[in-house]
Chain A
Protein backbone atom coordinates (compact mmCIF):
# COMPACT_ATOMS: atom_id res chain seq x y z
CA UNK A 1 0.00 0.00 0.00
CA UNK A 2 2.91 2.34 0.48
CA UNK A 3 5.05 1.40 -2.45
CA UNK A 4 6.65 4.38 -4.08
CA UNK A 5 6.98 6.43 -0.89
CA UNK A 6 10.61 6.76 0.09
CA UNK A 7 11.59 6.63 3.74
CA UNK A 8 13.02 10.11 3.47
CA UNK A 9 9.65 11.63 2.95
CA UNK A 10 8.53 10.41 6.33
CA UNK A 11 11.68 11.67 7.93
CA UNK A 12 11.33 15.09 6.38
CA UNK A 13 7.74 15.24 7.53
CA UNK A 14 8.80 14.19 11.05
CA UNK A 15 11.56 16.79 11.15
CA UNK A 16 9.35 19.62 10.07
CA UNK A 17 6.64 18.65 12.52
CA UNK A 18 9.18 18.33 15.28
CA UNK A 19 10.62 21.80 14.81
CA UNK A 20 7.21 23.34 14.39
CA UNK A 21 6.48 21.84 17.79
CA UNK A 22 9.73 23.29 19.13
CA UNK A 23 8.79 26.68 17.78
CA UNK A 24 5.46 26.46 19.49
CA UNK A 25 7.05 25.38 22.71
CA UNK A 26 9.37 28.37 22.64
CA UNK A 27 6.86 31.04 21.70
CA UNK A 28 3.51 30.12 23.18
CA UNK A 29 2.53 31.70 26.45
CA UNK A 30 -0.47 29.74 27.49
CA UNK A 31 0.42 26.53 29.25
CA UNK A 32 -2.18 24.50 27.38
CA UNK A 33 -0.83 25.56 24.02
CA UNK A 34 2.62 24.58 25.18
CA UNK A 35 1.18 21.22 26.03
CA UNK A 36 -0.20 20.98 22.54
CA UNK A 37 3.26 21.73 21.13
CA UNK A 38 4.61 18.87 23.15
CA UNK A 39 1.98 16.60 21.64
CA UNK A 40 3.15 17.69 18.22
CA UNK A 41 6.71 16.83 19.08
CA UNK A 42 5.74 13.43 20.40
CA UNK A 43 3.68 12.75 17.36
CA UNK A 44 6.52 13.58 15.00
CA UNK A 45 8.69 11.13 16.85
CA UNK A 46 6.00 8.52 16.57
CA UNK A 47 5.89 8.95 12.82
CA UNK A 48 9.63 8.42 12.65
CA UNK A 49 9.47 5.28 14.77
CA UNK A 50 6.75 3.78 12.70
CA UNK A 51 8.46 4.65 9.43
CA UNK A 52 11.75 3.18 10.56
CA UNK A 53 10.00 0.07 11.70
CA UNK A 54 8.26 -0.42 8.38
CA UNK A 55 11.15 0.44 6.13
CA UNK A 56 14.15 -0.97 7.94
CA UNK A 57 12.85 -3.83 10.08
CA UNK A 58 9.59 -4.97 8.62
CA UNK A 59 9.91 -8.36 10.36
CA UNK A 60 9.71 -6.90 13.85
CA UNK A 61 7.39 -4.65 15.71
CA UNK A 62 9.72 -2.61 17.90
CA UNK A 63 8.90 0.70 16.34
CA UNK A 64 5.25 0.12 16.70
CA UNK A 65 5.51 -0.85 20.31
CA UNK A 66 7.61 2.15 21.03
CA UNK A 67 4.89 4.25 19.55
CA UNK A 68 2.27 2.52 21.63
CA UNK A 69 4.25 3.17 24.75
CA UNK A 70 4.88 6.75 23.79
CA UNK A 71 1.19 7.25 23.32
CA UNK A 72 0.58 5.75 26.74
CA UNK A 73 3.21 7.93 28.34
CA UNK A 74 1.83 10.95 26.52
CA UNK A 75 -1.58 10.20 27.89
CA UNK A 76 -0.24 9.94 31.41
CA UNK A 77 1.81 13.07 30.97
CA UNK A 78 -1.11 15.03 29.62
CA UNK A 79 -3.37 14.03 32.45
CA UNK A 80 -0.81 15.03 35.05
CA UNK A 81 0.04 18.23 33.23
CA UNK A 82 -3.57 19.24 33.01
CA UNK A 83 -4.06 18.49 36.70
CA UNK A 84 -1.11 20.74 37.46
CA UNK A 85 -2.37 23.43 35.11
CA UNK A 86 -5.75 23.42 36.76
CA UNK A 87 -4.11 23.68 40.14
CA UNK A 88 -2.01 26.61 39.00
CA UNK A 89 -5.04 28.24 37.54
CA UNK A 90 -6.81 27.93 40.87
CA UNK A 91 -3.98 29.68 42.62
CA UNK A 92 -2.97 32.32 40.12
CA UNK A 93 -6.10 32.67 37.97
CA UNK A 94 -3.73 32.70 35.04
CA UNK A 95 -1.71 30.10 33.21
CA UNK A 96 0.79 32.37 31.54
CA UNK A 97 4.15 30.62 31.60
CA UNK A 98 6.07 33.90 31.88
CA UNK A 99 4.55 34.57 35.25
CA UNK A 100 5.50 31.18 36.63
CA UNK A 101 8.85 32.05 38.10
CA UNK A 102 8.06 31.77 41.78
CA UNK A 103 10.54 28.94 42.28
CA UNK A 104 13.60 30.54 40.75
CA UNK A 105 16.78 30.77 42.86
Chain B
Protein backbone atom coordinates (compact mmCIF):
# COMPACT_ATOMS: atom_id res chain seq x y z
CA UNK B 1 0.00 0.00 0.00
CA UNK B 2 2.52 2.60 1.09
CA UNK B 3 4.90 3.84 -1.54
CA UNK B 4 8.66 3.86 -1.31
CA UNK B 5 8.91 6.89 0.93
CA UNK B 6 6.63 7.09 3.90
CA UNK B 7 5.27 10.50 4.94
CA UNK B 8 6.04 9.78 8.56
CA UNK B 9 8.34 7.06 9.74
CA UNK B 10 8.65 6.10 13.41
CA UNK B 11 11.34 3.81 14.70
CA UNK B 12 11.67 2.39 18.17
CA UNK B 13 9.47 5.15 19.59
CA UNK B 14 9.13 5.24 23.35
CA UNK B 15 7.21 7.88 25.30
CA UNK B 16 7.41 7.98 29.08
CA UNK B 17 5.54 10.24 31.45
CA UNK B 18 6.16 11.05 35.09
CA UNK B 19 9.31 11.20 37.15
CA UNK B 20 11.22 8.57 39.04
CA UNK B 21 12.15 8.61 42.70
CA UNK B 22 10.72 12.01 43.66
CA UNK B 23 7.37 12.99 45.07
CA UNK B 24 6.15 12.62 48.63
CA UNK B 25 6.34 8.84 48.62
CA UNK B 26 9.52 8.44 46.66
CA UNK B 27 7.86 5.94 44.34
CA UNK B 28 8.89 5.53 40.79
CA UNK B 29 5.82 6.60 38.87
CA UNK B 30 6.91 6.32 35.30
CA UNK B 31 4.27 5.37 32.80
CA UNK B 32 5.56 4.06 29.54
CA UNK B 33 2.69 5.17 27.34
CA UNK B 34 4.37 4.07 24.12
CA UNK B 35 6.81 1.21 24.19
CA UNK B 36 9.30 0.77 21.32
CA UNK B 37 6.89 1.17 18.46
CA UNK B 38 7.80 1.07 14.76
CA UNK B 39 5.28 2.47 12.33
CA UNK B 40 5.47 3.91 8.83
CA UNK B 41 2.63 5.94 7.41
CA UNK B 42 2.59 5.90 3.63
CA UNK B 43 1.51 8.58 1.18
CA UNK B 44 -2.29 8.77 1.21
CA UNK B 45 -2.49 5.81 3.54
CA UNK B 46 -5.23 5.38 6.13
CA UNK B 47 -4.15 3.73 9.36
CA UNK B 48 -6.59 3.07 12.17
CA UNK B 49 -5.00 2.87 15.60
CA UNK B 50 -7.31 0.85 17.81
CA UNK B 51 -7.19 0.04 21.51
CA UNK B 52 -8.72 0.59 24.91
CA UNK B 53 -8.29 3.80 26.88
CA UNK B 54 -4.81 4.13 28.32
CA UNK B 55 -3.22 1.91 25.67
CA UNK B 56 -1.18 4.83 24.33
CA UNK B 57 -2.94 5.28 21.01
CA UNK B 58 -3.43 9.02 21.37
CA UNK B 59 0.13 9.52 22.63
CA UNK B 60 1.50 7.60 19.66
CA UNK B 61 -0.73 9.63 17.34
CA UNK B 62 0.48 12.91 18.80
CA UNK B 63 4.06 11.73 18.49
CA UNK B 64 3.46 10.94 14.82
CA UNK B 65 2.49 14.55 14.10
CA UNK B 66 5.30 16.07 16.17
CA UNK B 67 3.07 17.22 19.05
CA UNK B 68 4.70 14.94 21.53
CA UNK B 69 8.43 14.48 21.83
CA UNK B 70 9.35 10.84 22.19
CA UNK B 71 11.69 9.97 25.07
CA UNK B 72 13.32 7.35 22.84
CA UNK B 73 13.55 6.46 19.16
CA UNK B 74 13.41 8.57 16.03
CA UNK B 75 10.61 10.02 13.99
CA UNK B 76 11.08 11.32 10.48
CA UNK B 77 8.92 13.45 8.24
CA UNK B 78 9.89 12.75 4.63
CA UNK B 79 13.31 11.72 5.83
CA UNK B 80 13.83 14.76 8.08
CA UNK B 81 14.26 13.95 11.77
CA UNK B 82 11.52 15.96 13.48
CA UNK B 83 13.45 16.41 16.73
CA UNK B 84 16.40 17.78 14.80
CA UNK B 85 14.20 20.10 12.76
CA UNK B 86 12.89 21.53 16.00
CA UNK B 87 16.31 22.04 17.56
CA UNK B 88 18.71 22.88 14.76
CA UNK B 89 19.02 26.23 13.01
CA UNK B 90 18.71 25.24 9.40
CA UNK B 91 17.25 21.81 8.87
CA UNK B 92 16.39 20.56 5.37
CA UNK B 93 12.74 20.92 6.19
CA UNK B 94 11.93 23.68 8.71
CA UNK B 95 9.90 22.70 11.74
CA UNK B 96 7.15 25.17 10.87
CA UNK B 97 6.60 23.39 7.58
CA UNK B 98 6.47 20.03 9.33
CA UNK B 99 3.92 21.36 11.80
CA UNK B 100 1.80 22.73 8.97
CA UNK B 101 1.97 19.43 7.11
CA UNK B 102 0.88 17.33 10.07
CA UNK B 103 -2.54 18.34 11.38
CA UNK B 104 -4.90 17.17 14.11
CA UNK B 105 -8.65 16.91 14.59
CA UNK B 106 -9.63 16.56 18.23
CA UNK B 107 -12.29 14.44 19.82
CA UNK B 108 -14.46 17.32 20.97
CA UNK B 109 -14.96 19.82 18.15
CA UNK B 110 -16.88 22.15 20.47
CA UNK B 111 -13.84 22.93 22.57
CA UNK B 112 -11.50 23.06 19.56
CA UNK B 113 -13.22 26.22 18.30
CA UNK B 114 -12.98 29.56 20.06
CA UNK B 115 -16.49 30.27 21.37
CA UNK B 116 -16.01 34.03 20.97
CA UNK B 117 -15.02 33.93 17.34
CA UNK B 118 -17.15 33.56 14.28
CA UNK B 119 -16.37 30.50 12.19
CA UNK B 120 -14.74 32.60 9.48
CA UNK B 121 -12.30 34.13 11.99
CA UNK B 122 -11.33 30.74 13.36
CA UNK B 123 -10.64 29.59 9.83
CA UNK B 124 -8.87 32.72 8.55
CA UNK B 125 -6.36 33.11 11.38
CA UNK B 126 -4.32 29.95 10.87
CA UNK B 127 -4.39 30.35 7.10
CA UNK B 128 -3.06 33.91 7.26
CA UNK B 129 -0.43 32.94 9.77
CA UNK B 130 0.88 29.97 7.85
CA UNK B 131 0.62 31.01 4.22
CA UNK B 132 1.45 34.00 2.04
CA UNK B 133 -2.07 34.16 0.68
CA UNK B 134 -3.93 37.43 0.75
CA UNK B 135 -7.24 37.77 2.56
CA UNK B 136 -9.24 37.27 -0.61
CA UNK B 137 -7.42 34.13 -1.60
CA UNK B 138 -7.74 32.75 1.93
CA UNK B 139 -11.47 33.33 1.85
CA UNK B 140 -11.71 31.72 -1.54
CA UNK B 141 -9.99 28.58 -0.30
CA UNK B 142 -12.16 28.42 2.82
CA UNK B 143 -15.39 28.92 0.90
CA UNK B 144 -14.49 26.24 -1.62
CA UNK B 145 -13.78 23.72 1.13
CA UNK B 146 -16.87 24.66 3.14
CA UNK B 147 -18.99 24.16 0.04
CA UNK B 148 -17.32 20.81 -0.51
CA UNK B 149 -18.12 19.49 3.00
CA UNK B 150 -21.70 20.73 2.83
CA UNK B 151 -21.58 23.73 5.15
CA UNK B 152 -24.08 25.52 2.97
CA UNK B 153 -25.19 28.25 2.57
CA UNK B 154 -21.54 29.08 3.20
CA UNK B 155 -22.06 32.81 3.89
CA UNK B 156 -24.52 31.98 6.60
CA UNK B 157 -22.27 29.38 8.27
CA UNK B 158 -19.17 31.55 8.18
CA UNK B 159 -20.86 34.24 10.23
CA UNK B 160 -22.09 31.95 12.97
CA UNK B 161 -20.51 31.31 16.36
CA UNK B 162 -19.55 27.73 17.32
CA UNK B 163 -22.55 27.29 19.66
CA UNK B 164 -24.84 27.97 16.72
CA UNK B 165 -23.54 24.89 14.95
CA UNK B 166 -24.60 21.29 15.54
CA UNK B 167 -21.99 18.72 16.60
CA UNK B 168 -21.66 17.45 13.05
CA UNK B 169 -21.25 20.97 11.68
CA UNK B 170 -18.60 21.80 14.28
CA UNK B 171 -16.71 18.66 13.35
CA UNK B 172 -16.86 19.59 9.66
CA UNK B 173 -15.57 23.07 10.48
CA UNK B 174 -12.63 21.58 12.35
CA UNK B 175 -12.02 19.20 9.48
CA UNK B 176 -11.77 21.96 6.89
CA UNK B 177 -9.56 23.98 9.21
CA UNK B 178 -7.13 21.08 9.19
CA UNK B 179 -7.56 20.41 5.45
CA UNK B 180 -6.96 23.95 4.24
CA UNK B 181 -3.30 23.74 5.32
CA UNK B 182 -2.89 21.12 2.58
CA UNK B 183 -1.50 18.72 5.15
CA UNK B 184 0.20 15.44 4.29
CA UNK B 185 -1.16 13.70 7.36
CA UNK B 186 -4.15 14.27 9.59
CA UNK B 187 -4.41 12.74 13.04
CA UNK B 188 -8.11 12.21 13.72
CA UNK B 189 -8.24 11.55 17.45
CA UNK B 190 -11.57 9.85 18.22
CA UNK B 191 -12.93 12.42 15.80
CA UNK B 192 -16.28 10.75 15.35
CA UNK B 193 -16.88 9.13 18.74
CA UNK B 194 -18.72 12.17 20.06
CA UNK B 195 -21.11 12.23 17.12
CA UNK B 196 -24.48 10.58 17.06
CA UNK B 197 -24.51 7.15 15.50
CA UNK B 198 -26.48 8.32 12.49
CA UNK B 199 -23.82 10.95 11.66
CA UNK B 200 -20.73 8.77 11.96
CA UNK B 201 -20.84 7.17 8.54
CA UNK B 202 -21.39 10.56 6.94
CA UNK B 203 -18.35 12.02 8.70
CA UNK B 204 -16.16 9.05 7.80
CA UNK B 205 -17.27 9.25 4.17
CA UNK B 206 -16.38 12.92 4.17
CA UNK B 207 -12.88 12.27 5.47
CA UNK B 208 -12.36 9.60 2.86
CA UNK B 209 -13.63 11.89 0.12
CA UNK B 210 -11.21 14.64 1.12
CA UNK B 211 -8.39 12.14 1.35
CA UNK B 212 -9.05 11.07 -2.21
CA UNK B 213 -9.15 14.67 -3.36
CA UNK B 214 -5.92 15.79 -1.70
CA UNK B 215 -4.13 12.46 -1.23
CA UNK B 216 -3.82 13.15 2.48
CA UNK B 217 -2.80 10.34 4.83
CA UNK B 218 -5.00 9.73 7.86
CA UNK B 219 -4.05 8.34 11.24
CA UNK B 220 -7.37 7.54 12.77
CA UNK B 221 -7.32 6.91 16.53
CA UNK B 222 -10.35 5.05 17.81
CA UNK B 223 -11.52 2.59 20.41
CA UNK B 224 -14.15 1.31 17.99
CA UNK B 225 -13.26 -1.60 15.76
CA UNK B 226 -16.35 -1.18 13.56
CA UNK B 227 -15.41 2.37 12.62
CA UNK B 228 -11.82 1.31 12.01
CA UNK B 229 -13.06 -1.44 9.73
CA UNK B 230 -15.31 0.89 7.79
CA UNK B 231 -12.56 3.44 7.16
CA UNK B 232 -9.78 1.04 6.29
CA UNK B 233 -11.94 -1.23 4.20
CA UNK B 234 -13.12 1.68 2.09
CA UNK B 235 -9.61 3.03 1.66
CA UNK B 236 -7.52 -0.14 1.54
CA UNK B 237 -5.73 0.95 4.70
CA UNK B 238 -4.32 -0.86 7.69
CA UNK B 239 -5.45 -1.41 11.27
CA UNK B 240 -2.95 -1.32 14.14
CA UNK B 241 -4.07 -2.76 17.47
CA UNK B 242 -2.41 -1.32 20.58
CA UNK B 243 -2.21 -2.77 24.05
CA UNK B 244 -0.30 -1.15 26.94
CA UNK B 245 1.92 0.93 24.67
CA UNK B 246 2.74 -1.67 22.06
CA UNK B 247 1.33 -2.38 18.63
CA UNK B 248 0.46 -6.02 19.15
CA UNK B 249 -0.93 -6.67 15.69
CA UNK B 250 -1.04 -4.70 12.47
CA UNK B 251 -2.33 -5.56 9.03
CA UNK B 252 -5.09 -5.13 6.47
CA UNK B 253 -8.79 -5.40 7.27
CA UNK B 254 -8.74 -9.00 6.10
CA UNK B 255 -5.82 -9.82 8.38
CA UNK B 256 -7.05 -7.99 11.47
CA UNK B 257 -10.83 -8.24 11.34
CA UNK B 258 -11.46 -11.41 9.41
CA UNK B 259 -8.54 -13.47 10.61
CA UNK B 260 -6.93 -11.98 13.72
CA UNK B 261 -4.05 -13.99 15.20
CA UNK B 262 -3.38 -12.08 18.41
CA UNK B 263 -5.62 -13.14 21.31
CA UNK B 264 -6.10 -9.48 22.24
CA UNK B 265 -7.39 -8.60 18.78
CA UNK B 266 -9.67 -11.61 19.01
CA UNK B 267 -10.97 -10.31 22.35
CA UNK B 268 -11.61 -6.86 20.88
CA UNK B 269 -13.49 -8.48 18.05
CA UNK B 270 -15.55 -10.50 20.51
CA UNK B 271 -16.35 -7.35 22.47
CA UNK B 272 -17.59 -5.42 19.45
CA UNK B 273 -21.33 -5.98 19.37
CA UNK B 274 -22.62 -6.81 15.93
CA UNK B 275 -26.04 -6.30 14.55
CA UNK B 276 -27.26 -9.04 12.23
CA UNK B 277 -25.08 -11.72 13.79
CA UNK B 278 -26.38 -14.36 16.14
CA UNK B 279 -24.77 -14.43 19.55
CA UNK B 280 -21.12 -15.20 19.66
CA UNK B 281 -19.35 -17.45 22.12
CA UNK B 282 -18.38 -16.56 25.69
CA UNK B 283 -15.76 -14.08 26.82
CA UNK B 284 -12.26 -14.98 25.70
CA UNK B 285 -10.69 -13.18 28.68
CA UNK B 286 -9.11 -14.49 31.85
CA UNK B 287 -9.14 -11.22 33.73
CA UNK B 288 -11.59 -8.35 33.47
CA UNK B 289 -9.42 -5.46 34.57
CA UNK B 290 -6.47 -3.89 32.79
CA UNK B 291 -3.23 -3.91 34.80
CA UNK B 292 -1.93 -0.64 36.25
CA UNK B 293 0.19 0.97 33.52
CA UNK B 294 2.90 1.91 36.03
CA UNK B 295 3.37 -1.77 36.78
CA UNK B 296 3.48 -3.33 33.37
CA UNK B 297 3.47 -7.13 33.55
CA UNK B 298 6.67 -9.04 32.87
CA UNK B 299 6.84 -11.06 29.69
CA UNK B 300 3.95 -10.49 27.32
CA UNK B 301 1.96 -7.57 28.71
CA UNK B 302 -1.33 -9.25 27.78
CA UNK B 303 -0.64 -12.53 29.55
CA UNK B 304 -2.64 -11.80 32.76
CA UNK B 305 -5.82 -11.52 30.69
CA UNK B 306 -4.92 -13.81 27.82
CA UNK B 307 -6.86 -17.08 27.49
CA UNK B 308 -4.00 -18.67 25.54
CA UNK B 309 -1.22 -17.70 27.95
CA UNK B 310 1.37 -20.33 28.84
CA UNK B 311 4.27 -20.18 31.27
CA UNK B 312 6.69 -18.82 28.68
CA UNK B 313 4.42 -15.77 28.27
CA UNK B 314 5.08 -14.82 31.90
CA UNK B 315 8.79 -14.43 31.39
CA UNK B 316 9.50 -13.73 27.73
CA UNK B 317 8.24 -10.76 25.79
CA UNK B 318 7.24 -11.79 22.27
CA UNK B 319 8.89 -9.97 19.40
CA UNK B 320 7.05 -8.91 16.26
CA UNK B 321 6.53 -11.84 13.92
CA UNK B 322 6.44 -10.66 10.37
CA UNK B 323 4.80 -12.10 7.37
CA UNK B 324 7.00 -12.65 4.35
CA UNK B 325 4.75 -11.23 1.69
CA UNK B 326 2.91 -8.41 3.44
CA UNK B 327 3.29 -5.72 6.08
CA UNK B 328 1.48 -7.86 8.59
CA UNK B 329 3.08 -8.12 12.02
CA UNK B 330 1.94 -9.83 15.21
CA UNK B 331 3.46 -9.83 18.67
CA UNK B 332 2.45 -13.26 19.87
CA UNK B 333 4.27 -16.58 20.01
CA UNK B 334 1.24 -18.20 18.49
CA UNK B 335 1.94 -16.45 15.20
CA UNK B 336 4.84 -18.79 14.55
CA UNK B 337 4.73 -22.56 14.29
CA UNK B 338 8.06 -23.23 15.87
CA UNK B 339 8.39 -21.78 19.30
CA UNK B 340 8.94 -23.14 22.79
CA UNK B 341 5.47 -21.71 23.55
CA UNK B 342 3.86 -24.77 22.03
CA UNK B 343 5.70 -27.01 24.51
CA UNK B 344 5.22 -24.64 27.40
CA UNK B 345 2.70 -25.42 30.11
CA UNK B 346 -0.66 -23.67 30.17
CA UNK B 347 -0.99 -21.16 32.96
CA UNK B 348 -2.60 -22.42 36.13
CA UNK B 349 -5.87 -20.91 37.25
CA UNK B 350 -6.87 -20.19 33.71
CA UNK B 351 -10.58 -20.28 34.34
CA UNK B 352 -12.28 -17.87 32.03
CA UNK B 353 -14.42 -14.97 33.07
CA UNK B 354 -18.04 -15.97 32.42
Are chains A and B native binding partners rather than an unrelated pairing? no
A residues within 8 Å of B by Cβ?
none
